[in-house]
Amino acid sequence: YQSSNGLLELDLEARESLVNLGGQQASLLTYNGQIPAPRLEAKPGDTVRIHFTNNLEQPTNIHYHGLHIPLVGNADNVFLKIEPGKQLTYEFQIASNHPSGTFWYHPHLHGLVAEQLFGGLAGMFIVRGELDEIPELKAAQEEFLVLQDFSLDNRGKRADSAHMSLMMGREGDIIAVNGQANPSINLLKGGLLRLRILNASPSRFYRLALEDSAFYQIATDGNSFSEPIEVNELLLTPGQRTDVLVKASQESGQYRLLNLPYDRGSIGMMGGGMMGRRNNSDTPIVLAKINYKSTVESLTLPTKLAPIEPLPEPQTVRRFELNHGMNPAVGMAFLINGEPYDRDRLHTQVQLNTIEDWELINIGVMDHPFHIHGNAFQVISRNGIPELLLAWRDTVLVKRGERVRIRMPFRDFAGKTVYHCHVLDHEDLGMMGNLMIS
């Protein structure tokens, strides 16, 4: 779906549908019957109007992850609850100075987020703007990869997750790339390939590498770097996006896109055994194949993307301790500063048009990708060591034992929203806070 004449308007229906998932019949939760959900594309300045119908058997809503749009009303409001059979029209404007990048949309009703994403409800939202006008990027072949994982029983129904796998964060044994198993991408004219990749899995991390080639990364989340950076591998946590260029070589051939093993921690010893350990397998998994032909096209990378300004010093510094543990009110839960999410509390109140530093401290035994709605931030340091790469993000990995300092301007939009761990079972089990910007 693309906007025309400044308007992106469409009907979107959430429903359980029978789909073909990598050759196998599966009954999944879909938007408009598709896995992944339809890709939406708008331009800065556009109005977006989505006529949404909930035909699931549960309440739901839609969150526009990473977009800098109003947090209240029928825009990006995670406190809305749309009951089964009900409709709602989402409407918002994308500001004319909005960054161009790869964003996405997914349900966000607390307590059901992991389940609904694991059912398949997720799609890309592209803002196409200035960045995409850079000649080298315009000439590149553009492909979109939505990474999801699923768990099915032998009749193709969604399998239930056991309690321990919820604590760890549910992972499925089926990995789908655009709803397919290990698809092939054919680079039609050689030259550069631009891959926009989204981790839409509720808990699985992807450690991406190309066999025999580097990536030239141009953006994280929805924001470009100032120039391409050569990297051999990329860790993509749930919620994160990356935008990379791949060079075909002089002869025809194939690159395999691999998912390398990564250990994101585990709940550790409980009752004498290692419980809930659900790491990626120990061997690389092939996610996709990229076939390329010998090329006469240019392999020149763009030299400049978009300038990034460092932020001034913050007015306020806050600390957020991430952990899980027993809470008298709810039992085992995931906690921020010792407390589980409480929908009636305002955990953090900030002032509009100020800059804050948040010190994110993981004192637990599992990695937590921390995500904040509404505004992007820059990573300032990790474990006290200054971060050299200047980049905007909306989700940052805080590894177990790590202390990450981020700096964030609260711009343009007042209202109430949330921050949380993007391992969505952790979010559903309490690792979230309400944020009031006023």
Contacts to Cu ion by CB under 5 A: 65, 368, 373, 421, 423, 426
Out of ligand C2O, Cu ion, none, which partner does residue 241 contact, by CB within 5 to 8 A per kind? none
Closest to ligand C2O by CB, 248 vs 372, is 372
What are the two backbone dihedrals, phi and then psi, of residue 387, each rounded to the nearest 5 degrees? Answer: -85, 125
- Choice between 405 and 426, CB closer to Cu ion: 426
CB of 283 to Cu ion, least distance (A): 25
Are 218 and 245 contacting, i.e. CB atoms less than 8 angstroms apart? Answer: yes
**Smaller CB distance to ligand C2O: residue 118 or 216?**
118
Considering the complex, what minimum distance in angstroms separates the CB of residue 104 from ligand C2O? Answer: 7
Nearer to Cu ion, 67 or 258 (CB): 67
Say how far apart CA 254 and CA 41 lie, in whole Å. Answer: 30
* Chosen from Cu ion, ligand C2O, none, partner binding at 403 (C-beta under 5 to 8 Å by type): none
Q: Are strands 123-127 and 40-42 parallel, antiparallel or unpaired?
A: parallel
**What is the gyration radius of the CA atoms in the chain, in angstroms?**
21
DSSP per-residue letters across 262-329: ---B---EETTEE----PPPSS-EEEEEEEE----S--PPPS-----PPPPPPSEEEEEEEEEEEETT
The Cα–Cα gap between 104 and 80 comes to: 18
Angle at 127 between CA 77 and CA 18, to 5 degrees: 70
Q: Give min distance, CB of 406 to ligand C2O, in A.
A: 16
Rounded Cα gap, residues 367 and 276, in angstroms: 14
Number of residues written out for the chain:
438
Report, in Å, the least distance between residue 373 CB and ligand C2O: 6
Residue nearest to ligand C2O (CB): 65
Which residue, 196 or 373, has its beta carbon nearer to Cu ion?
373
131 phi and psi, to 5 degrees? Answer: -55, -40
Inter-residue contact 28 to 119 (CB < 8 Å) = yes
Q: Which is nearer to ligand C2O, 196 or 420 (CB)?
A: 420
Token pair 């804050």 is found at: 356
Residue 420 contact, options ligand C2O, Cu ion, none, Cβ 5-8 Å cut-off depending on partner type: ligand C2O
CB of 242 within 8 A of CB of 209? no
- Surface-to-core class of residue 359, CB atoms within 10 Å of its CB (0-12 exposed, 13-18 middle, 19+ buried): middle
Which chain residues interact with ligand C2O by CB under 6 A?
63, 65, 106, 108, 239, 371, 373, 420, 422
State which residue, 405 or 422, has the beta carbon closest to ligand C2O. 422
CB of 428 to ligand C2O, least distance (A): 11
Query: In which order are the strands placed within the sheet that holds 24-31?
Result: 24-31, 7-21, 47-55, 87-93
- Least distance to Cu ion, CB of residue 69, Å: 11
Kindly state the smallest distance separating residue 200's Cβ from ligand C2O, in Å: 9
Q: Which does 264 bind (CB under 5 to 8 A by kind): Cu ion, ligand C2O, none?
A: none
Q: How far is the CB of 186 from Cu ion (least distance, A)?
A: 33
* Binder of residue 108, out of ligand C2O, Cu ion, none (CB less than 5 to 8 A by kind): ligand C2O
Q: CB nearer to Cu ion: give 259 or 395.
A: 395
Q: Which does 423 bind (CB under 5 to 8 A by kind): Cu ion, ligand C2O, none?
A: Cu ion
Partner interacting with residue 368 (select from Cu ion, ligand C2O, none; CB below 5-8 Å by kind): Cu ion
Q: Which does 405 bind (CB under 5 to 8 A by kind): ligand C2O, Cu ion, none?
A: none
Cβ atoms of 45 and 97 closer than 8 Å? no
- Amino acid (one-letter) located at 315: Q
Q: How far is the CB of 386 from ligand C2O (least distance, A)?
A: 28
User: CB-wise, 14 or 152, nearer to ligand C2O?
Assistant: 14
Measured in degrees and rounded to the nearest 5, phi and psi for residue 357 equal -105, 135
Element (H, E) at 208: strand 206-210
Q: Which CB, 14 or 421, lies closer to Cu ion?
A: 421
Q: Is 264 left (phi over 0), alpha (psi -120 to 50) or beta?
A: alpha
Q: What is the DSSP letter of 107?
A: -
**Rounded to the nearest whole angstrom, what is the least distance from the CB of residue 35 to ligand C2O in the complex?**
18
